[in-house]
Amino acid sequence: MNKFLIIAFTLLCTGWAVNAQNITIKGQVLDNLKEPVPMANISQVGTTNGTISDIDGNYTISVPVGATLEFSFIGFKSERRTVGKGMTVLNVTLQEDSQVLDAVVVTALGIKRQEKALSYNAQSIKQDELTKVKDANFINSLNGKVAGVNIQSSSSGVGGATKVVMRGTKSIEGSNNALYVIDGVPMYNATNTEGTGRYASRGTTEGIADLNPDDIESMTVLTGASAAALYGSSAANGAILITTKKGKEGKLEVGFTSSMEFAKPFVMPEFQNTYGSNPNDAVSWGAKQASTGYNPEDFFKTSATYTNSLTLSIGNDKNQTYASLAATNANGLVPNNEYDRYNMTLRNSSTALDGKLKFDIGAQYIIQRDQNMVNQGEYMNPLVGAYLYPRGLNWGDAGYFEQWDEDRGILTSSPFPEGEYAMQNPYWVAYRNIRTSERKRFIVSMGISYTIKEWSKSEKWDIGARYRIDRTSQEYKDKRFVGTIATLLDGGTKNGFFGLNTGSDMQNYVDVLTNFNKNFGEDWGLAANVGASLSDQKNDILYNQGPLRDDGLPNIFNIQNIEQGAHKAQFYQEGWHEQTQSIFGSVEVNWKRLLYLTVTGRNDWASQLAGSKNKSFFYPSVGLTGIITDMLSESVKNSLYNTLSFAKVRLAFAQVASPFKRELTIPMNTFNQADKKWVKEGYYPLKDLKPERTNSFEVGLTTKWLKNKLNFDITYYRTNTKNQTIRATMSASSGYNYTYVQTGNVQNQGVEIALGGTVEIGKNFTWNTGFTYGYNKNEIKELVKNLRNPQNPAEPLFKEDELLKDNFGNAQIILRPGGTLGDIYAKTDFVRDANGNIDISQDVKPRDKYMKLGSILPDANLGWRNDFSYKQLSFGFMLSARLGGIVVSGTQAAMDYSGVSKVTADARDAGGVFVGGGMIIPAQKYYQSQGRPKDYLTQYYTYSATNLRLREAYVAFNIPRKWLGNVVDLNISLTGKNLWMIYNKAPFDPETIASTGNYAQGLDYFMLPSTRSFGFSIKARF
């Protein structure tokens, strides 16, 4: 019996010892699309033993036989598996539970970080959001989808430059546009000269519009300075990080996309055609007539845009290749307006030395051409003639815009009244004032990295280097035929005018970056990045333009035919060269993956500072993040999961500096085109200029609810931008014309909200919805009150604590403390009697005090996106709105003056304009006083900028591969943009802009209208 007990006890102890012995389990965590799930939690149930998967979804854990492993990741349903005897590999596929909160995102300099560790607001946009409803400039596809971002599309038409402002306008004189970053490398977003003011009308595209949206993998929008601190001065206004596609391991995959889009004008002013014009008049104040049926929309064509794209991907475990070809071809609303872009991309990624050494090389070649891209203004703008076309003339005759000149044996323009607005026959402008632009861009990027030490897939130390060259050559031609009005021929009334401008932009960028990621024990983790970069940019332009020689050939457009000695002929070159050298670093420390402290620093040596006492500038950032739900006990966390699934709070402060503009510290000579002489810049010498600095603070809360089916994110921010460099006039007795001073404090504070959710009804129906809201208050806290004359400190530099910026009509943008960077004031008004009634017998006069009309800056922007899917069918729509602010329409003023607006016909039908006191003013007298060309009374042409629209909608159907013989996956869709303007009080689209400059938004002067479009697309994947 005793022997039996001893044997039984021995066997029991042996079995217990066997069961207690740990074994090593390895595996990979995948999602339902067989893609790796990085940073998934793998834990042994009932213990504190656990680990996380690496960037490729791989994990390793040591557990006893019989243990239960739980695999979990935010956005997926948790899975449990029991470890069996002899098991060494355990692969798990997690099923999607709701919208996924990406655990790893690409941040500054291409550094990958856990999203839950970020102390700032980073909003991700997937590739299908850019291509579901396409735009020739894909940046427009972000509108309404990102909180805190104000996106305004260009009036230049297809491919036009877009203005992107994040968290408000900050700089008085500097750029307020966001930075674009491609695969970790900042991009110089070149734009050509844009038409501004009363006359100039040249439209333009921009560098970011060159990209093929089908080459983009994903985008991350960093709205604050904290997020973009590592990028330096260029990112003071936020950054859009773009990750492009690479080749994938596996068999050859081919994708083809073809789409077509047709567009008509969206928002137009109201016209009249029941009152004609007197003979030879350019205005329509004639007698009443039968309706001519003419509508300026008759001048516009149906815009058509065709896009075709081919992509290829192939690779094995050591070498992957991606290639693409794309073509975008468009005809605009205006006759003879064209836009073409061709993209070619090739990229190869490879590894060596058992994966320790990685190479990445890519090349892009882009050809872009546009013709007659017009944005606004009077000169060479066909909308002037189309809108103001005298209503007594037969519109059918407008098509006969030229006639034969028997004496000269050439075609010249048919007679057409010029009037007060440099008006020409709109078809003559379209076909005989031809402006073309061609850009050829070549981008080569190379990257190499080496893993110095690898402790695990998520713990390693590596070093890498990147280089990119981005070179663009461009050619711009301006051809004005004989018969163009004399004002536009610069004296060349006999044979025409020609301009040929050629130039190039080149950016060289190189950086070196080392990354260190290591856990220390169970509680501590460290992620450190240290690097250096050099960015070198050059720009060169050669101008040749002027009237054609009187003894030359008519309408022969080449340089040798230009009148070399003409007063307005211009032959000159200009350019600039900037370079910034930088060192930077960041350190992230985490405790139990519950608390994350991140500190960054960057020091720049910018060439603009040469000659200044300040040779460089340093700026830091610090952020703290706490994962609230992970701080709870396991039992409390599990009990809350069905209600509150995830919560984190974040806090960040950052400082970003921007250098002042080039050539301020070293006086330069400039060439005066008027008298053809060199002139020395006459400004007071400057040596103690400092960089412009933006201090940014933000606090935010990120939460997931109802088993991750609902997400809510809110951020409060405040920024203050100081040391603004401003030009100040000096008295003639000083010996200088002006000087530059540094002052000012512009504050922006606001709230960003993002709310999203997923509703599943049954097995086949899903509704995904997302709401974004961004509110911003812009305020000038300090301006120029305390500035003194550097030669006489007792004398103030400015008479008033204000700055006068752009003016238009009788209005002026005036910056004052307590106001915004977009406040508009009216300078003149009608003369009024003692009772306030208009005295039309007298001319308008200056006001005693400027009348504030409002601000062109919005108070808030919002978007509401909805996507539905049922089996193979999907459909969706998005509403967006701008709230607050004002816009001004100089177009409406010109229409009133010319008598072609509906309101002038209504007034004539009513017997005149009733202005109070029983007084009736003849319609022509009233509107030609109110809308007069050079200084129209802006207060009567100011409108609310608030608008609500159905921005986009789509219906798509997926045809599975199995339906097509397992050959191809097919997606067919119908799309629409700007389908319905639900609310708008302005006579034009308030979200359209003529220029990306600081003070051009909200001002309409014969801008090309925005468009309503319908499209069809087909996507195939072989």
Query: Above 50 in pLDDT, residue 5?
Result: no
- C-alpha dist (Å) from residue 829 to 210, 809, 881, 904, 943: 46, 11, 33, 20, 17
**Mean pLDDT, the chain, whole residue set:** 89
For 398-453, what is each residue's pLDDT tens digit?
999 999 999 999 999 999 999 999 999 999 999 999 999 999 999 999 999 999 99
Cα separation of 44 and 508, whole Å? 51
User: 783 near 817, Cβ under 8 Å?
Assistant: yes
Task: Provide mean pLDDT across the span 313-326.
Answer: 94
- Eight-class DSSP state of 207: G
For 547-599, what is each residue's pLDDT tens digit?
999 999 999 999 999 998 888 888 989 899 999 999 999 999 999 989 999 99
> H or E segment at 16?
helix 2-20
Locate 767 and state its tokens: 């509704």
Give the helix ranges, DSSP H, for 347-482: 382-388, 426-432
For 751-770, what is each residue's pLDDT tens digit?
999 999 999 888 889 999 99
Give the helix ranges, DSSP H, for 209-321: 225-228
The residues near 1022 (Cβ < 8 Å, ≥ 6 apart) are 253, 254, 255, 256, 967, 968
> In the prediction, which pLDDT does 13 show?
41
> In the prediction, which pLDDT does 33 show?
63
Q: Which is nearest to 605 in space by CA: 617, 619, 595?
A: 617
The residues near 763 (Cβ < 8 Å, ≥ 6 apart) are none
Cα separation of 555 and 571, whole Å? 20
Q: Which is nearest to 146 in space by CA: 773, 765, 888?
A: 773
Residue 969 φ/ψ region, left for φ over 0, alpha for ψ in the -120 to 50 degree band, beta for the rest: beta
Tokens 């504070």 sit on residue: 749
Other C-beta atoms closer than 10 Å to the C-beta of 318 total 12
Query: Above 50 in pLDDT, residue 295?
Result: yes
The residues near 245 (Cβ < 8 Å, ≥ 6 apart) are 215, 216, 217, 311, 313, 322, 324, 347
- Eight-class DSSP state of 562: B
The residues near 67 (Cβ < 8 Å, ≥ 6 apart) are 44, 45, 82, 83
Cα separation of 855 and 944, whole Å? 10
> In the prediction, which pLDDT does 112 show?
72
Model confidence band, residue 813 (pLDDT cutoffs 50, 70, 90): very high
Cα separation of 238 and 251, whole Å? 39
User: What secondary structure, in 3-state letters, does 378-392 show?
Assistant: CCCCHHHHHHHCCCC
For 1006-1016, what is each residue's pLDDT tens digit?
999 999 999 99
User: 506 near 527, Cβ under 8 Å?
Assistant: no
Cα separation of 560 and 544, whole Å? 10
Locate 136 and state its tokens: 């020739």
For 601-619, what is each residue's pLDDT tens digit?
999 999 988 888 888 889 8
User: 384 near 1006, Cβ under 8 Å?
Assistant: yes
Q: Which residue has the higher pLDDT, 35 or 313?
A: 313
Task: Provide mean pLDDT across the span 76-89.
Answer: 86
Asked whether the whole model's pTM tops 0.75, one would answer yes
Cα separation of 842 and 462, whole Å? 78
Q: Which long-range contacts (CB under 8 A, 24 or more apart) does 663-667 make?
A: 663/576, 664/608, 664/689, 664/725, 664/740, 665/608, 665/609, 665/610, 665/611, 665/612, 665/689, 666/610, 666/611
Task: Provide mean pLDDT across the span 463-476.
Answer: 96
For 687-745, what is each residue's pLDDT tens digit?
778 888 899 999 999 999 998 889 999 999 999 999 998 888 887 777 777 888 888 99
Q: Specify the amino acid at residue 89.
A: V
Percent of the chain with pLDDT over 70: 96
> In the prediction, which pLDDT does 124 show?
83
For 926-965, what is each residue's pLDDT tens digit?
999 999 998 899 999 999 999 999 999 999 999 988 888 8
Q: Which residue has the higher pLDDT, 184 or 877?
A: 877
Q: Which residue has the higher pLDDT, 235 or 953?
A: 953
| Dihedrals phi, psi of 130, to nearest 5 degrees | -90, -25
Cα separation of 335 and 266, whole Å? 17
Tokens 């044979």 sit on residue: 495
